Chain A
C-alpha cells in the first residue's frame, strides 16, 4: 500500500517535477505526437490546449504508462522513467483523471475510488468498511457529502461521476495530476467547484496539467499555457504574457 501523507512533491534545482524531451508516438502511420518537449512544476497549473487530434490525450497516455513512446525521454522527480503500465506511474505519484472517466459502472463509488489499490486488512482481505468510511470522508471534504459511497456508479449523473474520478486521483496525494477535460459536460456550479479544486491543489504543491477546450477556464486557472498542433508543440506561454487570440493562432498552426 502506498504511504499517503508521506509523499511530498520533490523538484530539481530549477523546480521542474516533470521534464519531457522529444516525446514521439506513432500509431501505424499516423504520427500522434512528434518530438514534444516541456516541463511541469509543482505549485503550478499548466494548461494544455489544442484542437481535436492535436495529441493531448496521447501525451497524457505516454507519460502515465498507458502507451509506450517511440522516442523521447521522460524525467520525473529527477529520475528517468519508462512506465510500462499505469500501475507503475501511479506508484510514483502520477494520477490521471481521464476524459472518459475510466470508471466501472457496475461497481459502487467507494470501490471506484480505490480501484487498483484496494485497502486490505491484516489478513489480506479487502477492508470494505475502511474504504467506505475514507471515501465518505473524501467526498465530504470535496463538498460532495450528499453522494453516498455505496451508490452504484452506473446510476450517477455526469457531474457525480466526475467527482468520483477526481476523488480517486486525490486520495493518494499525487505529485502530478493530469486532468483531461475535467469540466466537460458539467453544470456551471460543478465547473466552478472543479476550477476551485484545481486552485487548491496548486496551493498544496501538486503539479496540475489541465486540459480543456474552454480557453476562458484555461486563462482563469493556468499559470502557463502549452499549445499542441498536429502532434507538435506549437508554443508555451506565460498566461499573463499572452491573450486568447495568440493561443487560438497557435492552436490553428498560424505563425
Chain B
C-alpha cells in the first residue's frame, strides 16, 4: 500500500494541487476548465512521449520543440491558401502532413547520425539542432506569421466532438496509452530499458543498440511534427516562436513523472501525471489574483518541490526494498 502510494506520488500531488487551487478559486471546478487543461496539455504531452523514449535509452532530445516550430511553419507555408505569406502551392493537407512527419523523422535521423555514428554527446547535438532549426525557421519566414490553413488541415487541433471534447485530447491521451503499451509489451520498449540501464550489457546480449536508439530519436522527431500539426490547427495560424522554451517543461514533466535522466527507469503514465500537474499549475496560477511576474517563479518552485518529493519517495522505496531503516 505504502509502496503503491509512493510509486504514484505524482497523481497524489496532482490531486492535492487541484484541490488547493479549487479551494482558493471555486470557479475553477468546471468541466470546461478541466477539458481546457487537457487540451493545453496535449502539445506538451506529445513532446514528452518522444523525450521519454530517448531518456529511457539514456539519451536526450532537446530539439523536439524546434522540430515542432520548424515543421509547423514549413507545413503551414506549403498548405496555406494565403498568396502573400505562403508558398502559393496549396498542397493537399494529407500530403503536407506526411511531409511534416517525414521532416520530423529526418531530424531524428540527423540527430542519431551525429550521436551514434560520430559519437557526439546527445546533449550537444540536440542543443545545436534546437538552435539551428529555430534559426532556419526565422530565416525561412522573415518572421512572418502563416495564416489561412485549410479546415481539413486544422481539424486535428481545432475540432471538438460535440463542441466539447477536442480530438487533440483524445489523441494525446491515447498516445500515452499506446506508448505505455509499447514500453511494457514490445521488444523495442524492453530493449530501451536495457540500453538505458546498461548499454554495454545490452550490446553484449545481442540487442541492436544503435537501431533502437535511432528509432527512439525518429519517434521523438515525428512526435514533434505531430504536435506541430495539432498546435497549428488549434491556433489556426503559425507564428515563428511556436513551441519556444517548451524543452524546460518537457524535462520537468518527465522527471516529475519519475523518469530517470540517467536512463533505464520510468514509465509513460507517471509523466502523464507530470504533464497534467504542470497544466493545472499553469491554469490555476493564471486565474489567481497575483502578478503574472510571479507565475514563472511559482511554477519553478512548485516543479522543484515536486522533483524533491519524488526523489524522497524514491529514497524511501530503496530503503524499503533493501530493508535498511
List the interface of chain B (C-beta within 8 A of A): 185-187, 190, 193-194, 196-198, 200-208, 264-265, 321-322
Contact = CB atoms under 8 A, between A and B. Distances in A.
A106 B206 contact: no
B207 A115 contact: yes
A111 interface: yes
Given A105-B198, A107-B194, A124 B186 contact: yes
A126 B203 contact: no
Nearest to B194: A104
Contact of B208 (A87, A98, A168): A87
Nearest to A87: B206
A120 interface: yes
B267 to A, nearest CB: 12
Interface string A109-135: 001000111101000111010000000
B238 to A, nearest CB: 38
Given A102-B201, A106-B264, A124-B186, A85 B194 contact: no
Contacts of B264: 104, 106
A116 B206 contact: yes
Given A125-B186, A126-B185, A107 B197 contact: yes
B185 A86 contact: no
A120 B187 contact: yes
A224 interface: no
Given A111-B190, A126-B190, A102 B185 contact: no
B206 A85 contact: yes
B323 to A, nearest CB: 10
A116 B198 CA distance: 12
Nearest to B209: A85
A110 to B, nearest CB: 11
B321 A106 contact: no
Interface of A: 64, 66, 85-87, 90-91, 96, 98, 101-107, 111, 115-118, 120, 124-126, 128, 152, 155, 168
A102 B187 contact: no
A117 B206 CA distance: 8
A98 B204 contact: yes
Given A104-B201, A111-B190, 13 more contacts: A66-B204, A87-B206, A90-B206, A91-B206, A96-B204, A102-B198, A102-B201, A102-B205, A103-B201, A104-B198, A106-B197, A115-B194, A125-B186
Nearest to B187: A118
Contacts of A117: 205-206
A107 to B, nearest CB: 6
Contact of A103 (B190, B193, B198, B265): B198
Contacts of A87: 206-208
Nearest to A115: B205
A66 B203 contact: yes
7 contacts: A64-B204, A104-B194, A105-B197, A116-B207, A117-B206, A125-B185, A128-B185
Nearest to A61: B204
A64 B203 CA distance: 11
Contacts of B265: 106
Interface centre among B200, B202, B204, B208 (most CB of A within 10 A): B204
Contacts of B194: 104, 107, 111, 115-116
A101 B201 CA distance: 8
A118 B197 contact: no
B202 A116 contact: yes
B211 to A, nearest CB: 11
Contact of A85 (B193, B197, B203): B203
Interface centre among B185, B194, B202, B205 (most CB of A within 10 A): B205
A185 B187 CA distance: 33
Nearest to A121: B185
B200 A102 contact: yes
A252 to B, nearest CB: 31
Interface centre among A66, A90, A107 (most CB of B within 10 A): A107
A205 B187 CA distance: 32
Contacts of A103: 198, 201
A105 B194 CA distance: 9
A151 B229 CA distance: 43
Given A104-B198, A105-B198, A86 B193 contact: no
